[in-house]
Structure 1
Amino acid sequence: MLCRVTMWMEAEAVSANLPETVAEGAVVLPAPPRMVGDLARDLTQAAAAVRAVSRGGRTTGGDVAVAAYTAVVCTGRSAARALEEAAAWCRQAPEAEVHSLAWARVPGHRHDVFEYRVTMAVSFPDDETGEHLGDTHHSCH
């Protein structure tokens, strides 16, 4: 199966894990089979979440929403490096809206080595409305 992902790129890469320069405009990139599997799994799980909401049994006075955000996972050998990777990604995607962050320290390639991960739930503006999907928290003045 041949799968591709179309991305809009305008910036120069600043991460050691990314190319030094990227083309401007729409770019078609090959999508690894894992990404296709992840998308199918995410859709299946979102459908299951919607079915769970529709089963009833909820009390009034609240609301439940099911959202499918893109998860960007930045990994580093140190906490600082993982955060630097996340910051570099944000600089390369200034139109992205970060909705939430998760932090994890996970086992690395050896039992005495750990990796650090910053997972960001993000969305991009809707092509038609220009609005971001999902909640963004704002402070009150």
Structure 2
Amino acid sequence: MVNIIFMFALMKAAKPHLEPGSAIVTTTSVQAFDPSPNLMDYAATKAAIHNFTISLARQLIDAGIRVNGVAPGPIWTALQLNGGQLPGELAAFGQESPMKRAGQPVELAPVYVFLASNQASYVTGQIYGVTGGKKIN
């Protein structure tokens, strides 16, 4: 629940300070589109963030503020080492992706930079998948 409740609180605090041309980039997950049974709570909050992102984009479009999201697939993060994977499944993490591997955090960075930049000035209300080839829609 913290994942989505935090987003509402942060936007309530940030909204008065955002100017036209500002960009908001959220992080959802491939889990929002194809949840794993053992990650039900996480997947549900990430699905809520997906919906929040699209709704916020519609709410802020007239103010000239763009809102987009990134939906990572299997990415090597501290979460995987601290209970994100079931015991014994860590070695196979990411192997189910079409690329047959987990991604690295650095492989996400260009998408965030693009969405935050003026190069994405005509992009809002979109979720970009960085999933190793797994579809998000």
Question: Which band: TM-score by shorter chain?
Answer: 0.3 to 0.5
Structure exhibiting the larger radius of gyration computed from Cα positions: 1
Q: Name which structure has the greater RCO, CA cutoff 8 Å, separation 6+.
A: 2
Task: Please state which structure has a larger fraction of its residues in helix.
Answer: 2
Q: Which has the higher strand share?
A: 1
